[in-house]
Amino acid sequence: MKAFLAEYASLAGDPAVAAEGAAMRDVLKTSFEAIGYEVVMPASADLDTEIRRLAPGCDAGLVIAPDHLLAGFTRTLEAVCHNVGCGAMNVAVAANKQRSSAIQAQHDIPVPAEQATGRRVIKPVRGYGALGVRLSDGAAGEGEFGQEYVEGDHLSVSLVGSRVIGDVCEYWSGDPPLVLALNRQAIEVDSEGRFHYRGGETPIDHPRRDECLAVARKAVEVLGCQGYAG
């Protein structure tokens, strides 16, 4: 069996996120190999071309890329291989932080309220790696929006959704989302209010673990995520 695995940032040499991307790639490569897959990886950041060249000969595929690029690459992958990540449509919705927050709020999932003025978190609508995120009372730029600042712990959840749609619906298990881990993110806010992602720790325990996992499961189902999500 063969698995196609592509990680964009390490191939593109983006200094802001290349190290993190390479770490994710290496962990996934090891995991695929541990369950018997031969891992096929692209040699260049021209992922559309590389996916079309390499993925048709593989049994499964997964692409890791910044939010604003992932939906397009995933759509290319879905046309030639079984994608084990989220579907392209769901990626496009989830990658739009403003839209996905509004959808979750409509389904009573707690999210920071959108805020247009005052001291707030300003972030790109489609961003990644905490790049461009800042705490400010200034004006949001083009392609940005503001949300209320909420004090608390920086946590995330890694899980796998089973609701697979489209041409690969035979992979649907009917099971609820499978939780892999609760994670802690190291987020630093500098003197100018800019957020920096400094890594993470996984798995962790937390007094509100059950609440975190319940919210994450509901978010995955509301947004229609399938395969790995976080």
One domain, residues 52 and 92 = no
What is the spatial distance between Cα 103 and Cα 42, in angstroms, rounded to a whole number?
Answer: 35
Q: What is the pTM of this model?
A: 0.87
Model confidence at 230, pLDDT cuts 50, 70, 90, reads confident
Residues 122 and 200 in one domain: yes
**Do 77 and 134 sit in the same domain of this protein?**
no
Residues 74 and 94 in one domain: no
The 10s digit of each residue's pLDDT in 192-210 is 999 999 989 999 999 999 9
pLDDT of residue 15: 85
Q: Domain holding 170: CATH number?
A: 3.30.470.20
Q: Are residues 28 and 2 in the same domain?
A: yes
**104: its two tokens:** 């979750």
Query: At residue 170, does pLDDT exceed 70?
Result: no
User: Could you tell me which residues are beta bridge partners of residue 5?
Assistant: 62
What pLDDT does 88 receive?
92
| Whether pLDDT at 213 is above 80 | yes
| Domain final residue pick, 65, 84, 103 | 84
Q: How many domains does the chain have?
A: 2
pLDDT per residue over 134-148, tens digit each?
999 999 999 999 999
* Residue of 95, 111, 126 whose CA lies nearest to 225: 95
The single-letter DSSP state of residue 189 is E
pLDDT at 217 over 90: yes
* CA 86 – CA 88 distance, rounded (Å): 7
Domain that holds residue 16: 1-84
13-51 residue pLDDT tens: 888 889 989 999 999 999 999 999 999 999 999 999 999
The length of the chain in residues reads 230
CATH of the domain at 43: 3.40.50.11770
Q: 76-119: per-residue pLDDT in tens?
A: 999 999 998 888 999 999 999 999 999 999 999 999 999 999 99
pLDDT at position 166: 47
Residue at which a domain ends, from 84, 117, 133: 84
